[in-house]
């Protein structure tokens, strides 16, 4: 059984189209270079090597490629493939648990402790999932987190085996085309937390729905209070949203 991002759309195909669209967007080199210049001017420990802008580009592409990862859980894959309500929140939770598993492994310690900017790396991995439906939400609309927790059972929050395979395939695409060695290493480490029965699923079952509300609140807060970088995250979200819409038009 395929992994779906919509009733007539393969998850892997949609993720690949978004990846390719974001990768070729002409704004990306300007954004990443300016971002690193601001990091150098704000952070106490300067990241002096501007080649890190290539790494930041790789991290953005990981987050963009997995923007729909919330759809990969059994609750959606075994249900109505025309409705994935709440998958943005579930996607942010999955990326949070992936990052948690990553931190507790020894695989990518150097990659995710880049001289004090690991919090920014977290945001780059998570905000494409959390905010790609942001403009569709009414200003006063509640997050309905309790509804999500009520409707999704613990077994159904696990990523299906077909979707784990799809995620690994698209991450291999990102890794093979990464601009930096550290980007390749980080992507490979993220692949490892999805492989072998999925370490991410272990974390989702153990912490998952219990962490949902705290995770969403934490990243909304971080997004709104990150010093000097809001323009950058908003720009990335805009690019991902444009590419998501373009990719969906070709299939839905």
Predicted confidence (pLDDT) at residue 107 exceeds the cutoff of 90: no
How much is the pLDDT for 148? 86
How much is the pLDDT for 87? 92
Predicted confidence (pLDDT) at residue 141 exceeds the cutoff of 60: no
Average the pLDDT over each of 29-38, 189-198, 218-227, 242-251 and give the range with the smallest value.
Answer: 218-227
Predicted confidence (pLDDT) at residue 139 exceeds the cutoff of 50: no
Q: Residues 118-128: pLDDT tens digits?
A: 778 889 999 99
The pLDDT confidence band at residue 138, using thresholds 50, 70 and 90, is very low
Cα torsion 118, 245, 160, 100 to 10°: value is: 10
Sequence-ordered alpha helix ranges (H) in the chain: 11-23, 28-42, 52-65, 74-77, 87-104, 109-112, 118-131, 145-151, 161-176, 181-194, 199-206, 208-225, 230-249
- Domain edges within the chain: 4-249
Average pLDDT in the 1-18 region? 93
What's the whole-number average pLDDT of the chain? 85
> Domain 4-249: which CATH class?
mainly alpha
Cβ neighbours of 115 (radius 10 Å) = 14
Cβ burial, residue 76 (10 Å; 0-12/13-18/19+):
buried
From CA 225, how far away is CA 76, in angstroms rounded?
32
Average the pLDDT over each of 32-46, 124-138, 205-219 and give the range with the smallest value.
Answer: 32-46
How much is the pLDDT for 43? 56
From CA 172, how far away is CA 241, in angstroms rounded?
22
Q: 4-6 and 9-10 as β-strands: parallel, antiparallel, unpaired?
A: antiparallel
Q: Residues 40-72: pLDDT tens digits?
A: 766 555 555 546 788 899 999 999 999 999 999
Q: Which of 240, 175, 179 is nearest to 55 (CA)?
A: 179
Average the pLDDT over each of 19-28, 151-160, 192-201 and give the range with the smallest value.
Answer: 192-201
Contact between 252 and 9 under an 8 Å Cβ cutoff? The reply is yes
Average pLDDT in the 74-99 region? 91
Cβ burial, residue 63 (10 Å; 0-12/13-18/19+):
buried
In sign, the C-alpha dihedral spanning 16, 18, 21, 24 is negative
């Amino acid at each position: 059984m395929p992994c779906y991002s919509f009733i007539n759309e393969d998850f892997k195909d949609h993720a690949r189209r978004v990846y390719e669209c974001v990768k070729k967007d002409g704004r990306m080199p300007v954004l990443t270079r300016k971002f690193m210049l601001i990091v150098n001017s704000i952070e106490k420990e300067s990241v002096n090597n501007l080649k890190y802008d290539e790494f930041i580009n790789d991290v953005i592409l990981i987050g963009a490629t997995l923007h729909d990862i919330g759809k990969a859980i059994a609750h959606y894959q075994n249900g109505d493939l025309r409705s994935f309500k709440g998958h943005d929140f579930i996607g942010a939770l999955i990326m949070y648990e992936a990052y948690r598993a990553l931190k507790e492994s020894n695989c990518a310690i150097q990659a995710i402790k880049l001289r004090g900017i690991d919090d920014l790396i977290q945001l780059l991995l998570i905000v494409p999932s959390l905010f790609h439906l942001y403009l569709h939400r009414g200003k006063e609309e509640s997050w309905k987190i309790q509804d999500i927790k009520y409707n999704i059972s613990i077994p159904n929050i696990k990523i299906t085996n077909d979707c784990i395979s799809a995620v690994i395939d698209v991450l291999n695409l990102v890794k093979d085309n990464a601009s930096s060695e550290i980007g390749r290493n980080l992507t490979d480490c993220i692949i490892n937390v999805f492989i072998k029965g999925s370490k991410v699923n272990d974390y989702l079952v153990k912490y998952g729905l219990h962490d949902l509300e705290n995770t969403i609140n934490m990243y909304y807060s971080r997004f709104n209070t990150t010093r000097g970088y809001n323009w950058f995250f908003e720009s990335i979200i805009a690019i991902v949203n444009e590419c998501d819409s373009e990719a969906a038009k070709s299939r839905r």
